[in-house]
Amino acid sequence: MRDIQQLVSELTLDEKALLTSGASMWTTQGIDRVGIPSVTVTDGPAGARGPTLPAIGAQVPTLCIPCGSALGATFDTELIEQIGNALGHQTRTRGARVLLAPTVNLHRSPLFGRNFECYSEDPVLSGHLAAAFIRGVQSHGVATTVKHLVGNETEFERLTIDTVIDERTLREVYLLPFEIAVREGRTLGIMTSYNRVNGSYCAESPWLLRDIVRGEWGFEGFFVTDWFAGATTEGAAQAGLDLEMPAPARAYGKFLAQAVTQGRVDEADLDRAAITLLSVFERLGALDDEPMASHPIDLPEHRALARRAAASSIVLLKNSPVAGTPLLPLRTQDLTSIAVIGPNAERARIMGGGSAEVRPHHRTSILSSLVARLDETVVVRHESGGSIDKSTPMIDGGDVMTDTGSPGFHVRVFDGTPGSGVELTTFDRPDGRLLLAGRNEPGVPTSGYHFIADGLVSVAHSGAYIVSLVQVSPCQLSIDGRVVIDGVTETPPRGEAFFGMGSEEMTAVVELQAGRTHRFELECDAGNKQWVHGAQIGLAPIETGDPIQRAVDIARQSDVALVVVGTTNDWESEGHNRRTLALPGHQEELIRRVAAANARTVVLVNTGAPIAMDWADDVAAIAQIWFGGQEMGDAVIDVVFGQQDPGGRLPMTIPDTIEHTPAFGNFPGEHGQIRYGEGLLIGHRWFEARQLLPRFPFGHGLSYASFDVQEPRADNLEIATNGAIDGTGSLSFSVPVTNEGERAGAHVVQIYIAPISPRVHRPLQELKAFAKVHLAPGETTQVRFELGPRDFAYWDPGDAYRNALQPQVTGERSFRTLDRSGRWVVDPGLYEVRIASSSADIDHTMTITIHGSNITD
Ligand code: BGC
């Protein structure tokens, strides 16, 4: 154990300041003189990617778990803790001590681009899953950074948008998962968000960081900025930010040292940051680390866990009888032929896009997993039904080869401008993503160079192809010696790819022949000073005929049609929101026409967030399969054929139309602001308050088993309160649940509280607890719950809220100037405790009485 106070007192001002900034994209600064090592961090949350940029530069494979919303759908804290455990282990093998996860922003609008990364619309579900994940990860000497604090629920103007939100909503909804992550999960890190909240950047809000998170919740870990987020030196230091990432420093590091010297920042604030960081590193054991290489591990138990998690996340939304029996699970013995249809059948989409992307150890696709599972006598037919690519798909390693026969392109890097220069280094890249990141790649300078990548492309069928380039620096693409796309002479405008660094897509139509190779050569000018250079090359055949008709034809010839629809990591990604709930391409028509051709049609929805399901009444069975991680193909087949129960329940409401959703009209933001106008009524609370019928309600999901949820047995139906949450009373009860079906299955008991005649505006019901039980046929279990005063409380913002509305009183419309008289309040009265199987399916209610007096009168 090192004495951290003592260690910090031995550091010079410059050394202390250095500690608060990054050394590179993924490492903190070490101080050799006193033996403080640099610490490596890695994204999160889909896996431990290691110290590489998402989808840029060389990628090392890692375990890819199901996306956040899939994990949300498991409602299973035990499973999520095991997932956390696996990721903690993976993080250590990547030489890292910090995992940039979990993401606990909420599904406020179904169109938020990062919903797939976040667990749920519900703060309590998100918080408890996050706490479980954190416990698992941190048991390996790895710190989590729960992110992004707070109000980060749009990608519109994402680095500057101002989230306008009232304090009660902030406390009861958006801060709550962070609070649970701190109090229950004991996270050692928190990442502040890019956005502002009511005018102040989160990284420099003393009210959020110092008063609430540290002061009220007792957080002892470190605050780190989001990558390249803005903050002022003085503001961040006073608020209590500890670490600015990544390098080069913008507000901290040498700028913090200068600010202390010039008296703009108190040295005590710098000391506190250095002590906090080093104390966490000490707790992790990181201060004794030798430099660690990254050794990816691919363990059978991690694969098995990822598969179980993917199956546990699948939500069976609908399962109608066809000829008297529910369509799912399919019985192999009844099957002679099956049509596997849809753009995502052959290439299952296992993760969303952006910083959460990893290179998986391997991928499973629904089509290949199905073929592997079925007897050879069963005829499997496949049609994609049409493309849904947002842009031309990248050339795959299987279609291109270097002169020496390796898959991919051979890259030669030269000094100076195109046409000249000394060769600096060469290497191969596995596919058409030819992006080089100077600071991250051995032998590649940050600027002032150019590179040539060439490969031999072969195609299966002769004909017309679309070839495309999305560039981050000027590039030219030639095929067989002829320039076909020139992004040098005519620079395209910026697009959305690569976090907004990429250009809009440039395309050309070319004729390619089967049976020969075509030489593709990309020349890229990397003269400018920027941290990534290069381009992505895409290639796709031009579609001919009617792909939907081909799908209908095979559906008609087969016993069952399995239709895998969805989005991709381009449609659902960090960096931009979705524009509509509609499935991309012509997938809705595909579903309708296939269902008309075959009554035994199962639709599998491969997305991270809800899509419109106007076709839901036309098909017999629907399952939401999310972005299920690397084992998704096998997990889906496990559920479709009944080896696993579909364990998932909806962690968000699936609406009928976007106009019915709570954020409609207040999303994605405009004029620099996004207003949380629906206040407390996030998700199902809005649908209930406005009496709108969703397509499928929050918490819904069918099982192959059937459960009898019996009357709860309460120890007490009355509790006493002193009006505040430190009152002594609590309510305990147990719920007997029996599996009355013939198969093993999982049930989620959901507990909602509904105040009867509340004194203030409250949602009609709020989820307060949940438990997942796995039961064998005939088995009964008692599920135990305990609810405390806080579960019945609301936040009274006191004077703070009134001051916020009167800028002339405080002089400035900012949280920083508000007084602190807000508090949690429990009103006496009657409350309904609902034991439910979904927000719309209540099994039992208990009316309980809270005695006491109002403290706010
Ligand atoms: C994301 C973070 C991520 C960071 C590092 C940012 O763009 O918002 O979630 O951890 O990049 O990749």
DSSP string, 69-127: HHHHHH--HHHHHHHHHHHHHHHHHTT-SEEE--B----SSTT-TTGGGS--S-HHHHH
- Range with the lowest mean pLDDT among 308-317, 714-723, 796-805? 796-805
Neighbours of 513 (CB within 10 A): 12
- In this prediction, residue 817 carries a pLDDT of 47
Atom 9 of ligand 1, nearest CA residue? 355
Instruction: Name the residue type at position 399.
Output: D
- In this prediction, residue 634 carries a pLDDT of 98
- In this prediction, residue 52 carries a pLDDT of 81
Return the SS3 of 263.
coil
Q: Band of the pLDDT at 857, cuts 50, 70, 90?
A: very low
Question: Using alpha carbons only, how large is the chain's radius of gyration in Å?
Answer: 28
CA terminus-to-terminus distance, the chain: 52
CA–centroid distance, 100 to ligand 1, in Å, is 8
Sign of the C-alpha dihedral, residues 304, 308, 310, 316? Answer: positive
pLDDT in tens, 172-195: 999 999 999 999 999 999 999 999
Whether the per-residue pLDDT at 635 is higher than 80: the answer is yes
Distance CA(408)–CA(78), nearest Å, equals 41
CB 520 within 8 A of CB 457: yes
pLDDT in tens, 400-444: 999 999 999 999 999 988 877 889 999 999 899 999 887 667 788
515 burial level (CB within 10 Å; 0-12, 13-18, 19+): exposed
Give me the mean pLDDT over the 356-380 stretch.
93
Closest alpha carbon to 374 in 213, 628, 560, 617: 560
Distance CA(463)–CA(386), nearest Å, equals 18
Whether the per-residue pLDDT at 722 is higher than 70: the answer is no
Between 73 and 726, where is the model more confident? 73
- In this prediction, residue 529 carries a pLDDT of 80
- In this prediction, residue 802 carries a pLDDT of 45
Q: Percent of the chain at pLDDT above 90?
A: 84
- In this prediction, residue 500 carries a pLDDT of 78
Query: Which one of 57-61, 324-328, 796-800 scores highest in mean pLDDT?
Result: 324-328
**Average pLDDT value over all residues in the chain:** 93
Q: Band of the pLDDT at 288, cuts 50, 70, 90?
A: very high
CA–centroid distance, 65 to ligand 1, in Å, is 18
Whether the per-residue pLDDT at 109 is higher than 60: the answer is yes
pLDDT in tens, 465-502: 999 999 999 999 999 999 999 999 988 998 878 877 89
Closest alpha carbon to 365 in 388, 339, 391, 347: 347
Task: Give the position of tokens 């010039």.
Answer: 262
Phi, psi angle pair for 201, to nearest 5°: -65, 140
User: Which runs of consecutive H residues, i.e. helices, occur in 702-845?
Assistant: 798-804, 807-810
Distance CA(562)–CA(134), nearest Å, equals 37
Sign of the C-alpha dihedral, residues 510, 511, 513, 519? Answer: negative
Return the SS3 of 827.
coil
Give me the mean pLDDT over the 753-780 stretch.
97
Q: How far is CA 731 from the centre of its chain?
A: 34
CA–centroid distance, 355 to ligand 1, in Å, is 5
Q: Band of the pLDDT at 462, cuts 50, 70, 90?
A: very high
- In this prediction, residue 498 carries a pLDDT of 81
Whether the per-residue pLDDT at 455 is higher than 70: the answer is yes
Q: Band of the pLDDT at 687, cuts 50, 70, 90?
A: very high
Print burial letters for 209-238: b (CB count within 10 Å at least 16), e (below 16): bbbbbbeeeebebbbbbbbebbbbbbbbbb
Closest alpha carbon to 143 in 224, 24, 227, 210: 224
- In this prediction, residue 623 carries a pLDDT of 98
CB 217 within 8 A of CB 182: yes
488 burial level (CB within 10 Å; 0-12, 13-18, 19+): middle
Predicted TM-score (pTM) of the model is 0.93
Whether the per-residue pLDDT at 728 is higher than 80: the answer is no
Ligand 1: list residues with CB < 6 Å: 43, 100, 147, 226-227, 355
Distances (CA, A) of 371 to 339, 378, 560, 764: 11, 9, 14, 48
- Range with the lowest mean pLDDT among 288-302, 455-469, 777-791? 288-302
Between 50 and 529, where is the model more confident? 50
pLDDT in tens, 230-271: 889 999 999 999 999 999 999 999 999 999 999 999 999 999
Structure tokens, 158: 């994402």
Task: Give the position of tokens 């290179």.
Answer: 359
Atom 8 of ligand 1, nearest CA residue? 226
CA–centroid distance, 494 to ligand 1, in Å, is 21
Distance CA(416)–CA(422), nearest Å, equals 8
- Best mutation site among 40, 52, 87, 100 for ligand 1 pocket (most ligand atoms within 8 Å of CB): 100
Between 732 and 853, where is the model more confident? 732
Helices and strands (H and E) in the chain: how many: 19, 41
Catalytic residue from among 226, 399, 634, 791: 226
pLDDT in tens, 136-168: 999 999 999 999 999 999 999 999 999 999 999
- DSSP annotation of 167: H
Atom 3 of ligand 1, nearest CA residue? 355
Q: Band of the pLDDT at 299, cuts 50, 70, 90?
A: very high
Whether the per-residue pLDDT at 347 is higher than 90: the answer is no
799 included as an active-site residue: no
